């Protein structure tokens, strides 16, 4: 027996009770209908107060998954109670006798559809169960319950809930769901031939979430662009670039690229080349290398012992000193501020040690001869 038929039988029981009210049954039914409508309209605040107090008394005795379900279903249950009052108000109206059967059946179907919609909404609001599930499997599956995984699996959960709601409504309306699913399977084969890219993006998205090469909020370098990851969906990954533009990349292309996650590093490399003039004596070169190393090691943002200052090469116009160290400034803003500070210190140190920066230059040698060239012999 389907749900609409069950509600219709209960409706007939309610109508038979109304018919036994006596000679003034029509008036009493009309008054009852008005009262039920008013309670449904004005009782929302009262219903919320009742449910909130019940939740406050039971919250300490409920497991976390029950709390998530209660929080997700409070509003749908309140709305369902109001719809139920309006449903019985509709039945209480003294309709003409030839309207009663059709009205009751239509109202029952509408209430069943509302019930399916509210059940779907409650399950939709209970998407926090995904977070709880990931937390419970963290130790066994080595899954990090981070924001990326929560959002991704919440999308899958809500897609399944939406599909469940659609199937329930189609069943209530009398459609043969099994036939629709079989037909969808045939159509799906044809569609899948033209949707291979979408399927590959979905599989790549699942792989990105499980392997976790990056997460939401991470700064990554991907191919020829970089930025902050804002979202990972079924089809694509959205990245906020340095110029605040949004770049959307298909998951299959993201998986195929070399991904550099700069957020996961514990320190960052600072490196620059100091070019000095060729007339700088050896003693000064040795002194400036030692001073540069000491200056960087003295900075509190430089990892102790990581500073290096070595004569790396003889360039076309300069003697090149390679300066490098590892620093704890990880974010882009902090690293740029530290780079600015170290560059100013390097500039002052070069001047203090009596050295000069080299710049590209060209030396031209001119040879002058007093005698004129001999004429060619004939």
> Is 268's pLDDT higher than 80?
yes
Between 378 and 59, the higher pLDDT residue: 59
In sign, the C-alpha dihedral spanning 268, 276, 283, 346 is negative
d(C-alpha 104, C-alpha 294), whole Å: 90
CA-nearest of 91, 92, 113 to 103 is: 91
- Three-state secondary-structure class, residue 20: coil
* pLDDT at position 147 over 90: no
Q: Which CATH class is domain 203-261?
A: mainly beta
- Could you give the 3-state DSSP secondary structure of residue 27? helix
- Whole-number pLDDT of residue 135: 65
Give the residue among 134, 150, 156, 128 at the shortest CA–CA distance from 235: 156
pLDDT of residue 139: 45
Show the tokens assigned to 333.
Answer: 């803003």
Chain centroid, CA 66 distance in Å: 25
**Predicted confidence band of residue 341 (pLDDT cuts 50, 70, 90):** very high
Report how far residue 212's alpha carbon sits from residue 146's, in angstroms, rounded to the nearest whole number. 10
* pLDDT digits 0-9 by tens, 275-323: 999 989 999 999 999 999 999 999 999 998 899 999 999 988 899 999 9
Average pLDDT over the chain, rounded to an integer: 79
Phi, psi of 281 (to 5 degrees): -70, 165
- By the 8 A CB rule, do 206 and 154 touch? no
CATH fit for domain 268-352, picks 3.20.180.10, 3.20.20.70, 3.30.70.100, 3.40.50.1820: 3.30.70.100
Instruction: Tell me the C-alpha distance between 257 and 259, whole Å.
Output: 6
Dump pLDDT digits (tens) for 189-205.
555 555 567 777 777 77
Contact 31, 93 (CB under 8 A): no
- Residue 12 contacts by C-beta under 8 Å, 6 or more apart in sequence? 104
Confidence of residue 4 (pLDDT cuts 50, 70, 90): very low
Burial class, 194, CB count within 10 angstroms (exposed 0-12 / middle 13-18 / buried 19+): exposed
pLDDT tens profile 71-125: 888 888 888 888 888 888 887 777 777 777 778 788 888 888 888 888 899 888 8
* H-run or E-run covering 225: strand 225-232
Instruction: Report domain extents, the chain.
Output: 3-126, 203-261, 268-352
Burial of 30 per CB tally in 10 Å (0-12, 13-18, 19+): middle
Judge whether 50 and 44 are in contact, CB under 8 Å: no
Entry pTM: 0.48
Chain centre to alpha carbon of residue 166: 26
Q: What is the mean pLDDT of residues 48-52?
A: 80
């Amino acid at each position: 027996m389907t749900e609409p038929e069950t509600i219709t039988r209960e409706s007939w029981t309610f109508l038979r009770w109304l018919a036994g009210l006596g000679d003034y049954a029509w008036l009493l039914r009309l008054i009852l209908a008005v009262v039920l409508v008013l309670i449904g309209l004005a009782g929302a605040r009262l219903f919320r107060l009742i449910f909130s107090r019940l939740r406050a008394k039971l919250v300490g005795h409920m497991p976390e998954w029950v709390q998530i379900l209660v929080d997700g279903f409070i509003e749908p249950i309140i709305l369902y109670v109001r719809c139920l009052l309006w449903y019985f108000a509709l039945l209480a109206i003294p309709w003409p006798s030839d309207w009663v059967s059709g009205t009751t059946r239509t109202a029952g179907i509408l209430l069943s559809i509302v019930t399916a919609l509210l059940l779907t909404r409650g399950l939709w609001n209970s998407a926090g169960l995904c977070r709880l599930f990931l937390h419970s499997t963290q130790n066994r599956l080595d899954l990090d319950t981070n924001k990326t995984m929560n959002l991704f699996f919440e999308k899958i959960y809500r897609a399944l809930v939406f599909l469940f709601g659609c199937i329930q409504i189609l069943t209530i309306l009398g459609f043969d769901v099994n036939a629709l699913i079989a037909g969808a399977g045939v159509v799906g084969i044809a569609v899948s031939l033209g949707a291979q890219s979408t399927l590959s993006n979905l599989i790549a998205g699942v792989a990105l979430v499980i392997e976790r090469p990056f997460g939401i909020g991470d700064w990554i370098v991907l191919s020829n662009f970089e930025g902050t990851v804002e979202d990972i969906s079924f089809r694509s990954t959205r990245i906020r670039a340095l110029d605040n533009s949004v770049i959307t990349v298909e998951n299959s292309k993201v998986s195929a690229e070399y991904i550099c996650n700069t957020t996961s590093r514990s320190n960052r490399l600072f490196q620059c080349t100091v070019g000095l003039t060729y007339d700088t004596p050896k003693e000064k070169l040795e002194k400036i290398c030692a001073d540069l190393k000491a200056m960087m090691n003295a900075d509190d943002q430089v990892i102790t012992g990581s500073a290096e200052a070595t004569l790396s090469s003889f360039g076309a116009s300069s003697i090149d000193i390679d300066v490098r160290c590892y620093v704890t400034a990880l974010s882009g803003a902090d690293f740029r501020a530290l780079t600015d500070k170290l560059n100013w210190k390097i500039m002052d140190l070069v001047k203090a040690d009596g050295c000069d920066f080299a710049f590209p230059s060209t030396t031209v040698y001119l040879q002058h001869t007093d005698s004129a060239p001999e004429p060619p012999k004939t």
